[in-house]
Amino acid sequence: MADIAHADGHHDVHESTGIDNRKLGMWVFLSSEFMFFGALISNYMLFKGRDYSAFVPAGQSVILPRELYDIPFTSVSSFVLLMSSLTMVLAHDALVSGDQNRTRIWLAATGLLGSVFIGGQVFEFTEFVQQGMTLSTNPAASAFFVLTGFHGAHVFLGILMLLSLYGISRRQGGLTESQGLNVELVGLYWHFVDIIWIVIFTIVYLIP
Protein backbone atom coordinates (compact mmCIF):
# COMPACT_ATOMS: atom_id res chain seq x y z
CA MET A 1 0.00 0.00 0.00
CA ALA A 2 2.30 2.70 1.18
CA ASP A 3 5.54 1.33 -0.20
CA ILE A 4 4.81 1.65 -3.87
CA ALA A 5 7.47 3.93 -5.17
CA HIS A 6 10.40 4.21 -2.89
CA ALA A 7 12.86 3.25 -5.50
CA ASP A 8 14.33 6.44 -6.84
CA GLY A 9 15.83 9.06 -4.60
CA HIS A 10 13.98 12.14 -3.57
CA HIS A 11 11.48 12.44 -6.34
CA ASP A 12 9.69 9.38 -5.22
CA VAL A 13 5.96 9.51 -5.03
CA HIS A 14 4.53 8.09 -1.90
CA GLU A 15 0.80 8.26 -2.27
CA SER A 16 -1.13 5.96 -0.01
CA THR A 17 -3.92 5.65 -2.56
CA GLY A 18 -1.59 5.33 -5.54
CA ILE A 19 -3.27 8.35 -7.16
CA ASP A 20 -1.13 11.42 -7.72
CA ASN A 21 -1.80 14.20 -5.19
CA ARG A 22 -2.76 16.69 -7.84
CA LYS A 23 -5.15 14.30 -9.53
CA LEU A 24 -6.81 13.36 -6.25
CA GLY A 25 -7.01 17.05 -5.42
CA MET A 26 -8.75 17.75 -8.72
CA TRP A 27 -11.30 15.00 -8.11
CA VAL A 28 -11.97 16.33 -4.62
CA PHE A 29 -12.35 19.85 -6.01
CA LEU A 30 -14.77 18.67 -8.69
CA SER A 31 -16.92 16.94 -6.09
CA SER A 32 -17.28 20.33 -4.44
CA GLU A 33 -18.13 21.88 -7.81
CA PHE A 34 -21.01 19.43 -8.16
CA MET A 35 -22.54 20.93 -5.04
CA PHE A 36 -21.95 24.43 -6.44
CA PHE A 37 -23.83 23.72 -9.66
CA GLY A 38 -26.35 21.60 -7.79
CA ALA A 39 -27.28 24.64 -5.74
CA LEU A 40 -27.46 26.89 -8.81
CA ILE A 41 -29.56 24.39 -10.76
CA SER A 42 -32.01 23.82 -7.91
CA ASN A 43 -32.24 27.57 -7.56
CA TYR A 44 -33.34 27.84 -11.19
CA MET A 45 -35.74 24.92 -10.80
CA LEU A 46 -37.38 26.66 -7.84
CA PHE A 47 -37.93 29.91 -9.66
CA LYS A 48 -38.69 28.78 -13.20
CA GLY A 49 -42.26 27.60 -12.65
CA ARG A 50 -43.55 30.36 -10.41
CA ASP A 51 -46.20 32.85 -11.39
CA TYR A 52 -44.82 36.37 -11.67
CA SER A 53 -47.91 38.03 -13.15
CA ALA A 54 -48.54 39.92 -9.89
CA PHE A 55 -45.17 41.63 -10.18
CA VAL A 56 -45.41 43.17 -13.66
CA PRO A 57 -47.31 46.37 -14.43
CA ALA A 58 -50.87 45.78 -15.58
CA GLY A 59 -51.11 45.06 -19.27
CA GLN A 60 -47.59 43.72 -19.62
CA SER A 61 -46.84 40.04 -19.92
CA VAL A 62 -44.31 38.07 -17.92
CA ILE A 63 -41.17 37.25 -19.89
CA LEU A 64 -39.85 33.86 -18.85
CA PRO A 65 -36.56 32.37 -20.04
CA ARG A 66 -38.23 29.31 -21.53
CA GLU A 67 -40.26 31.45 -23.93
CA LEU A 68 -37.10 32.88 -25.47
CA TYR A 69 -34.96 29.77 -25.89
CA ASP A 70 -33.69 29.12 -29.37
CA ILE A 71 -33.30 25.36 -29.03
CA PRO A 72 -31.69 24.70 -32.46
CA PHE A 73 -29.08 27.40 -31.84
CA THR A 74 -28.24 26.18 -28.32
CA SER A 75 -28.15 22.60 -29.58
CA VAL A 76 -25.46 23.56 -32.05
CA SER A 77 -23.37 25.34 -29.43
CA SER A 78 -23.87 22.40 -27.04
CA PHE A 79 -22.63 20.11 -29.79
CA VAL A 80 -19.57 22.31 -30.21
CA LEU A 81 -18.83 22.06 -26.49
CA LEU A 82 -19.25 18.28 -26.51
CA MET A 83 -16.88 18.01 -29.45
CA SER A 84 -14.33 19.95 -27.42
CA SER A 85 -14.29 17.05 -24.97
CA LEU A 86 -13.30 14.82 -27.86
CA THR A 87 -10.43 17.12 -28.86
CA MET A 88 -9.37 17.23 -25.20
CA VAL A 89 -9.13 13.45 -25.18
CA LEU A 90 -7.16 13.58 -28.43
CA ALA A 91 -4.75 16.09 -26.87
CA HIS A 92 -4.16 13.79 -23.94
CA ASP A 93 -3.81 10.81 -26.21
CA ALA A 94 -1.24 12.64 -28.32
CA LEU A 95 0.75 13.50 -25.21
CA VAL A 96 0.71 9.90 -24.02
CA SER A 97 2.11 8.79 -27.38
CA GLY A 98 4.76 11.49 -27.05
CA ASP A 99 3.69 13.66 -29.95
CA GLN A 100 4.14 17.18 -28.57
CA ASN A 101 3.13 18.86 -31.79
CA ARG A 102 -0.18 17.06 -32.05
CA THR A 103 -0.80 17.74 -28.34
CA ARG A 104 -0.49 21.47 -29.00
CA ILE A 105 -2.82 21.33 -31.96
CA TRP A 106 -5.56 19.54 -30.03
CA LEU A 107 -5.13 21.79 -27.01
CA ALA A 108 -5.60 24.80 -29.25
CA ALA A 109 -8.57 23.15 -30.93
CA THR A 110 -10.19 22.50 -27.56
CA GLY A 111 -9.69 26.11 -26.55
CA LEU A 112 -11.10 27.27 -29.86
CA LEU A 113 -14.23 25.15 -29.54
CA GLY A 114 -14.67 26.42 -26.00
CA SER A 115 -14.40 29.99 -27.28
CA VAL A 116 -17.03 29.28 -29.92
CA PHE A 117 -19.32 28.08 -27.16
CA ILE A 118 -18.68 31.23 -25.12
CA GLY A 119 -19.30 33.30 -28.22
CA GLY A 120 -22.62 31.53 -28.65
CA GLN A 121 -23.51 32.29 -25.06
CA VAL A 122 -22.65 35.97 -25.49
CA PHE A 123 -24.83 36.07 -28.59
CA GLU A 124 -27.67 34.33 -26.76
CA PHE A 125 -27.48 36.70 -23.78
CA THR A 126 -27.43 39.74 -26.06
CA GLU A 127 -30.41 38.40 -27.93
CA PHE A 128 -32.36 37.82 -24.70
CA VAL A 129 -31.60 41.28 -23.41
CA GLN A 130 -32.80 42.77 -26.67
CA GLN A 131 -36.02 40.83 -26.33
CA GLY A 132 -36.52 42.41 -22.92
CA MET A 133 -35.21 39.79 -20.50
CA THR A 134 -32.48 41.06 -18.18
CA LEU A 135 -31.12 40.09 -14.76
CA SER A 136 -33.82 42.25 -13.20
CA THR A 137 -36.85 41.06 -15.15
CA ASN A 138 -37.95 38.43 -12.63
CA PRO A 139 -36.24 35.90 -10.36
CA ALA A 140 -36.51 33.16 -12.99
CA ALA A 141 -34.57 35.32 -15.42
CA SER A 142 -32.05 36.16 -12.69
CA ALA A 143 -31.60 32.45 -11.94
CA PHE A 144 -31.17 31.62 -15.63
CA PHE A 145 -28.49 34.25 -16.19
CA VAL A 146 -26.60 33.45 -13.01
CA LEU A 147 -26.62 29.69 -13.63
CA THR A 148 -25.57 29.80 -17.26
CA GLY A 149 -23.25 32.74 -16.54
CA PHE A 150 -21.34 30.79 -13.89
CA HIS A 151 -21.09 27.88 -16.27
CA GLY A 152 -19.69 30.22 -18.90
CA ALA A 153 -17.19 31.53 -16.38
CA HIS A 154 -16.05 27.97 -15.76
CA VAL A 155 -15.58 27.41 -19.49
CA PHE A 156 -13.64 30.67 -19.67
CA LEU A 157 -11.31 29.57 -16.85
CA GLY A 158 -10.83 26.28 -18.66
CA ILE A 159 -9.84 28.14 -21.82
CA LEU A 160 -7.30 30.15 -19.80
CA MET A 161 -5.78 26.92 -18.50
CA LEU A 162 -5.68 25.40 -21.98
CA LEU A 163 -3.99 28.50 -23.36
CA SER A 164 -1.42 28.42 -20.54
CA LEU A 165 -0.56 24.82 -21.34
CA TYR A 166 -0.35 25.68 -25.01
CA GLY A 167 1.91 28.66 -24.26
CA ILE A 168 4.22 26.71 -21.98
CA SER A 169 4.49 23.94 -24.53
CA ARG A 170 5.29 26.44 -27.29
CA ARG A 171 7.94 28.14 -25.20
CA GLN A 172 9.65 24.98 -24.02
CA GLY A 173 9.11 22.98 -27.19
CA GLY A 174 7.04 20.43 -25.29
CA LEU A 175 5.59 19.52 -21.96
CA THR A 176 7.57 17.70 -19.29
CA GLU A 177 6.18 14.64 -17.59
CA SER A 178 4.96 16.65 -14.61
CA GLN A 179 3.35 19.27 -16.83
CA GLY A 180 1.87 16.43 -18.80
CA LEU A 181 -0.17 15.52 -15.77
CA ASN A 182 -1.57 19.03 -15.97
CA VAL A 183 -3.05 18.13 -19.34
CA GLU A 184 -4.87 15.30 -17.64
CA LEU A 185 -6.02 17.61 -14.84
CA VAL A 186 -7.28 20.29 -17.21
CA GLY A 187 -8.94 17.46 -19.10
CA LEU A 188 -10.75 16.29 -15.99
CA TYR A 189 -11.93 19.84 -15.36
CA TRP A 190 -12.98 20.30 -18.96
CA HIS A 191 -15.00 17.09 -19.04
CA PHE A 192 -16.65 18.10 -15.79
CA VAL A 193 -17.69 21.43 -17.28
CA ASP A 194 -19.10 19.58 -20.29
CA ILE A 195 -21.05 17.13 -18.16
CA ILE A 196 -22.52 19.98 -16.19
CA TRP A 197 -23.57 21.59 -19.44
CA ILE A 198 -25.37 18.42 -20.49
CA VAL A 199 -27.31 18.59 -17.24
CA ILE A 200 -28.02 22.30 -17.66
CA PHE A 201 -29.04 21.91 -21.29
CA THR A 202 -31.42 19.09 -20.42
CA ILE A 203 -32.95 20.61 -17.33
CA VAL A 204 -32.99 24.26 -18.29
CA TYR A 205 -33.57 24.17 -22.03
CA LEU A 206 -35.17 20.86 -22.99
CA ILE A 207 -37.51 19.93 -20.13
CA PRO A 208 -40.44 22.35 -20.24
Partner 1 sequence: MATTATPGSRTIFRRPASHTGFWSWITTADHKKIGIMYGYTAFTFFILGGLEALLLRIQLSQPDSAFLSAAEYNAMFTMHGTTMIFLFVMPVSAAFFNYLLPLMIGARDVAFPRMNAVSFWIFLFGGIFLYTSFLFGTTGPPAGGNLAEAASRLGSGPNGGWFGYAPNSGIRFSTGTVMDYWSIGLQILGLASLISSINFIVTVFNMRAKGMKLLRMPVFVWMTTVVAFLLLFSLPIIAVALFMITFDRSFGTLFFDPSMGGDPVLWQHFFWLFGHPEVYILILPAMGIVSEVLPTFSRKPLFGYPAVVFAGAAIGFMGFGVWAHHMFSSGVTPITQAAFGLSTMAIAIPTGIKIFNWIGTVWGGKIKLNTPMLFSIGFVGMFVIGGLSGVTHSIVPADWQQTDTYYIVAHFHYVLFGGAIFGLFSGLYYWFPKLTGRMYSEALGKLHFWVFFIGFNLTFGPMHWLGLNGMVRRTWVYAEETGLGPWNMAVTVGAFIIALGVLVFMANWSWSKRNGPIAPFDPWDARTLEWTMPSPTPEYNFAVNPVVTALDDFWHKKYTEDSDGRPVRRPEATALVAELEEVGLNPPAPIHLPNPSYYPFLVGLGMPMIGYGVIYRGAAWGIPLGIVGALIIVGSFIGWGVEPLEEPHEEHEDHSDEPGTDHGEDA
Residue 7 found at the interface with partner 1 (CB under 8 A): yes
CB of 48 to partner 1, least distance (A): 12
Q: One symbol per residue from 80 to 99: x for binding partner 1 (CB under 8 A), - otherwise; what is it?
A: --------------------
Q: How many residues does the chain have?
A: 208
Residue 160 found at the interface with partner 1 (CB under 8 A): yes
Of 91, 95, 104, 90, nearest to 177 (Cα)?
95
The residue among 6 and 66 lying less far from partner 1, judged by its C-beta, is 6
DSSP code at position 53: G
Of 193, 207, 195, 201, nearest to 48 (Cα)?
207
22-51 residues near partner 1, rule: CB under 8 A: 22, 24-25, 28-29, 31-33, 35-36, 38-40, 43, 46-47, 50
The residue among 22 and 170 lying less far from partner 1, judged by its C-beta, is 22
The residue among 77 and 165 lying less far from partner 1, judged by its C-beta, is 165
What string of DSSP letters covers 9-43?
GGG----TTSS-HHHHHHHHHHHHHHHHHHHHHHH
Residue 60 found at the interface with partner 1 (CB under 8 A): no
Query: How far apart are alpha carbons 91 and 161 in whole angstroms?
Result: 14
The answer to whether the beta carbons of residues 165 and 193 sit under 8 Å apart is no
CB of 17 to partner 1, least distance (A): 5
Residue 129 found at the interface with partner 1 (CB under 8 A): no
Residue 145 found at the interface with partner 1 (CB under 8 A): yes
Of 176, 120, 128, 108, nearest to 151 (Cα)?
120
| CA-CA-CA-CA torsion sign (65, 111, 154, 20) | positive
Residue 122 found at the interface with partner 1 (CB under 8 A): no
The CA dihedral of 66, 69, 71, 73, to the nearest 10 degrees, is -160
Contact positions vs partner 1 (CB under 8 A): 1-3, 6-10, 12-17, 19-22, 24-25, 28-29, 31-33, 35-36, 38-40, 43, 46-47, 50, 52, 54-55, 134-136, 138-139, 142-143, 145-146, 150, 160, 164, 168, 178-179, 181-182
